[in-house]
Structure 1
Amino acid sequence: MNICVVALGKIGLPLAVQFAAKGHRVIGADVNEKVVELVNAGTEPFPGEFDLDRLLKETVGAGLLTATTDTAAAVAESDAVVVVVPLFVDSEGVPDFGWMDAATKAIAAGLKPGTLVSYETTLPVGTTRDRWAPMLAEGSGLTPGEDFHLVFSPERVLTGRVFADLRRYPKLVGGIDEASARRGVEFYEAVLDFDERADLPRPNGVWDLGTSEASEMAKLAETTYRDVNIGLANQFARFADKTGIDVKKVIEACNSQPYSHIHQPGIAVGGHCIPIYPRMYLWNDPEATVVRSAREANAAMPSYAVDLLAAAYGDLAGVNVLVLGAAYRGGVKETAFSGVYGTVEALKERGAVPFVSDPMYTAQELTAHGLPPHNGEQVTAAILQADHAEYRELAAADLPDVRVLVDGRRTTDPARWEGVRRVVIGG
């Protein structure tokens, strides 16, 4: 097949490489000229994605993957179009469709009869049928479901392990009609490989959920579940702090039974998915009080971590505090909705002087993200925000003036922090 992947970001580019590695001819379309230039040179535009550099060089070198800024022209050459353009929401969860609208209009301009269009960007329920289908029809003059096929098929991968996740998890597809769904299933069966899993209710592979709305809801539901679960764990942890209970032992005990799957508490829930998609679900379903409460509970955790620091240290006014980790999770160079921002703001509200360090970021990069870099200033307190592997080896000797450490991820080794008051959430 000839395939167009629209948006070559941290999900789109691995998808394009995956399709090309299966022998299909892929054109990646992106508005960023620098990304297009790097991809055409076989150079990875962002670090940290396992196996991407090797596979990118192989597929570009074989002439199976090219990139362009002309989306309409790329679509005109393609049998299938996969859309992974970012969708942003504001603090209230209201979607900003600007980038996706622009991409959809460009796709419509190049759309030809017989093409499959698959949206993988997480969307509010009903968007594929009610927004994209009319927009594609208006811009192309073609009839959805008759002249071209349209499906929603959510990405279900984590950055850093995209290729492994593509094999591990079933690919969900929902069409605006039965013919679109069949075409979507056939497409993904031709471009993906799947590991066999015995723990699934039906064989791994491509699962037709019946409608685009069901597929849209499935993605929102699975990510919202995680946010609600973490919110519950955080509530348990805060109660444990009040009562002198080690919540980690409690959760381990609960999860020894197959009916309990309590997640781990922590300082923050970050990234492009879990903090955002529950808000998107609430936009669809404002009566979902459980979802709203969990989101509020998780959003409050950076401030709670600073409260723990103040309780252990005392007045924080004028105190230099080092925040360890800018990334939203360990091993990933990404600050999207990271807890670092809430932590820094909460420290400032208490009069502290925050600094940030991260083994994956230079001081210049931290500054560019609006974060105050640590350049050797004396610090007497620290908060661990990201669970980078490097922090497992961190010791009191590395921060000799620190009196109190709040480990928001239970990452540090207690034995390495003798002489320092080490505080964990729920502990």
Structure 2
Amino acid sequence: MGLGKIGLPLAVQFAGKGHLVTGADIAPETVAAVNTGRPPFPREAHLAERLAETVAAGRLRATTDTTAAAAGADAVVIVVPLVTDAAGHPDFALLDAATDAVAAGLRPGTLVSYETTLPVGTVRGRFARRLEAGSGLAAGRDFALVFSPERVRTGRVFADLRRYPKLVGGIDGASTRRGAEFYRAVLDFDPRPDLPRGNGVWELSGAEAAEFAKLAETTYRDVNIALVNQFARYADRVGVDLAEVVDACNSQPYSHLHRPGIAVGGHCIPVYPRLYLWNDPGATVVRAAREANELVPAYAVGLLEGAYGPLTGVPVTVLGASYRGGVRETAYSGVFPLVEALRAAGAEVGVSDPLYAPEELAALGLPPDQGKPAAALVVQADHPEYRDLGAVDFPGVRVLLDGRRVTDPARWEGVRRIVLGGGG
């Protein structure tokens, strides 16, 4: 259930193992694309050929009728997004609707697995009850119920499915064993001798442990990024290049510092710490990290002003609307607070992105670059196309703020190039 950037590759993976898979989605255009063997989104490695193969073989079809699909299934995997509102509270509307649709078709003996990241206790405390109410069946007795978080990154889903252990925790021991059996049948794993329990399916003590594990691993990344972003500010004050420091620190196995960046975007890292805080509002470290990362776009604009001077009336082009390079997705992208901060500084802002047409940017509420010569540039997303850009491509540019350290300094002679944590 859910044929987005995670759900569709999962469906293709399952079908590729010889199973008969139905992908359910509420978007008719997505269903139509899948049924013709065409990916509804670009740049997912190996998806196009594997989707075409499984559809042509009759092992994968798509439908908008979730209830009918659930009624004919031995296993139902739900990968519908959970978002948060402005206050950081989870909005369960989409997942509740998906759960109710599944419940209406649920049969005895079916396995239901949630892969969407959830607050701790949600599977047992919320969805088990909804499934029982909609089906008349008892969770654990009549159907198995587990949580098994997705641990993949868009653009490399198939590789990540092989690379990382699959965590499974059920509402009871029988559910956990059933879920583990299912995932062993639909996934492949590369050997990982470095792991204490090897690679493959890891059975956890329950749904709550699996929910907690997903929130913890993602919140760790947000806190790590916040820490290194704080280090970047200090490096700029004392005139030290933080990249050199990070490389030195990470030369021994007890330091795993990330790299500073102009923004933290996407469906995961900006969202999941909020889901954790919903459970544990007293987690001051988590809250401080999230707030620190949200301040980086404004800090970056301050660096730009320090290098260029007042930005009032200055044409500034932002390179990259996507939340990260190579991905056509703007969920929680840093481009939005960055544009807001540039406008607050008085700049005339235009946004350019190789994955978006100008009219698409406008539809997102972003000012498209109109081709007016820019006096300053800000790299917001690390698209690979930006590695080969240089001063020759932007006549008249005086300052480049590379928020991702993706550009080649040698190509920007005559332009002042600054980076976060570069030491000024």
Work out whether the TM-score is over 0.5.
yes
Q: Are 1:152 and 2:153 counterparts?
A: no
| Residue of 55, 80, 85 corresponding to 1:85 | 80
Residue 90 of structure 1 and its aligned partner are, at CA, apart by 1.2
Residue 212 of structure 1 and its aligned partner are, at CA, apart by 0.2
Match of 2:372 in 1: 377
Match of 2:35 in 1: 40
- Equivalent runs, 1:200-349 vs 2, <5 Å: 200-349=195-344
Residue 43 of structure 1 and its aligned partner are, at CA, apart by 1.1
Whole-angstrom distance in 2 between the partners of 1:151 and 1:250: 43
Match of 2:413 in 1: 418
Question: What SS does structure 2 have at the residue aligned with 1:335?
Answer: coil
Residue 64 of structure 1 and its aligned partner are, at CA, apart by 0.5
Q: Are 1:165 and 2:160 counterparts?
A: yes
Q: Give me the CA root mean square deviation.
A: 0.6
Q: Are 1:74 and 2:69 counterparts?
A: yes
Whole-angstrom distance in 2 between the partners of 1:418 and 1:324: 19
Check the 8 A contact 2:167/2:203 in 1, yes or no: yes
Whole-angstrom distance in 2 between the partners of 1:83 and 1:212: 15
TM-score (norm 2): 0.99
Residue 148 of structure 1 and its aligned partner are, at CA, apart by 0.2
Check the 8 A contact 2:67/2:105 in 1, yes or no: yes
Amino acid at match of 2:283: A
| Residue of 28, 48, 56 corresponding to 1:53 | 48
Q: Are 1:386 and 2:381 counterparts?
A: yes
Structure 2: where are the runs of 5+ without partners? none
Whole-angstrom distance in 2 between the partners of 1:299 and 1:150: 36
Amino acid at match of 1:293: A
Question: What SS does structure 2 have at the residue aligned with 1:370?
Answer: coil
Check the 8 A contact 2:322/2:353 in 1, yes or no: yes
Provide, for residues 219-255 of structure 1, a one-character-per-residue CA deviation record: whole Å limited to 9, x for no partner: 0000000000000000000000001011110010000
Question: What SS does structure 2 have at the residue aligned with 1:135?
Answer: helix
Question: What SS does structure 2 have at the residue aligned with 1:60?
Answer: helix
Provide, for residues 157-209 of structure 1, a one-character-per-residue CA deviation record: whole Å limited to 9, x for no partner: 00000000000000000000000000000000000000001221111000011
Residue 332 of structure 1 and its aligned partner are, at CA, apart by 0.8
Amino acid at match of 1:107: V
Residue 304 of structure 1 and its aligned partner are, at CA, apart by 0.7
Question: What SS does structure 2 have at the residue aligned with 1:151?
Answer: strand
Whole-angstrom distance in 2 between the partners of 1:255 and 1:210: 33
Match of 2:188 in 1: 193
Whole-angstrom distance in 2 between the partners of 1:40 and 1:423: 48
Provide, for residues 237-280 of structure 1, a one-character-per-residue CA deviation record: whole Å limited to 9, x for no partner: 00000010111100100000110000000100110000000011
Match of 1:135 in 2: 130
| Residue of 340, 348, 361 corresponding to 2:356 | 361
Provide, for residues 19-46 of structure 1, a one-character-per-residue CA deviation record: whole Å limited to 9, x for no partner: 0000000011111111111111111111
Whole-angstrom distance in 1 between the partners of 2:406 and 2:288: 27
Match of 2:392 in 1: 397
Whole-angstrom distance in 1 between the partners of 2:90 and 2:382: 30
Amino acid at match of 1:315: P
Whole-angstrom distance in 2 between the partners of 1:411 and 1:44: 28
Q: Which moved more, 1:88-97 or 1:212-221?
A: 88-97
Amino acid at match of 1:244: G
Question: What SS does structure 1 have at the residue aligned with 2:77?
Answer: strand
Check the 8 A contact 2:373/2:395 in 1, yes or no: no
Residue 92 of structure 1 and its aligned partner are, at CA, apart by 2.2
Residue 401 of structure 1 and its aligned partner are, at CA, apart by 1.0
Off by >3 Å, runs of 4+ in structure 1: none
Question: What SS does structure 1 have at the residue aligned with 2:22?
Answer: strand
- Equivalent runs, 1:95-106 vs 2, <5 Å: 95-106=90-101
Residue 364 of structure 1 and its aligned partner are, at CA, apart by 1.4
Whole-angstrom distance in 2 between the partners of 1:150 and 1:300: 40
Whole-angstrom distance in 2 between the partners of 1:133 and 1:419: 62
Residue 368 of structure 1 and its aligned partner are, at CA, apart by 1.4
Question: What SS does structure 2 have at the residue aligned with 1:16?
Answer: helix
Tell me the matched-pair count.
Answer: 422
Residue 91 of structure 1 and its aligned partner are, at CA, apart by 2.4
Question: What SS does structure 1 have at the residue aligned with 2:168?
Answer: strand
Whole-angstrom distance in 2 between the partners of 1:25 and 1:286: 43
Whole-angstrom distance in 2 between the partners of 1:213 and 1:93: 21
Amino acid at match of 2:285: V
Provide, for residues 360-418 of structure 1, a one-character-per-residue CA deviation record: whole Å limited to 9, x for no partner: 11111111111111121121011111111111111011011110111111111111111
Whole-angstrom distance in 2 between the partners of 1:214 and 1:191: 22
TM-score (norm 1): 0.98
Q: Are 1:119 and 2:114 counterparts?
A: yes
Residue 125 of structure 1 and its aligned partner are, at CA, apart by 0.3
Amino acid at match of 1:386: A
Whole-angstrom distance in 1 between the partners of 2:43 and 2:313: 37
Q: Are 1:181 and 2:163 counterparts?
A: no
Amino acid at match of 1:331: G
Whole-angstrom distance in 1 between the partners of 2:193 and 2:416: 46
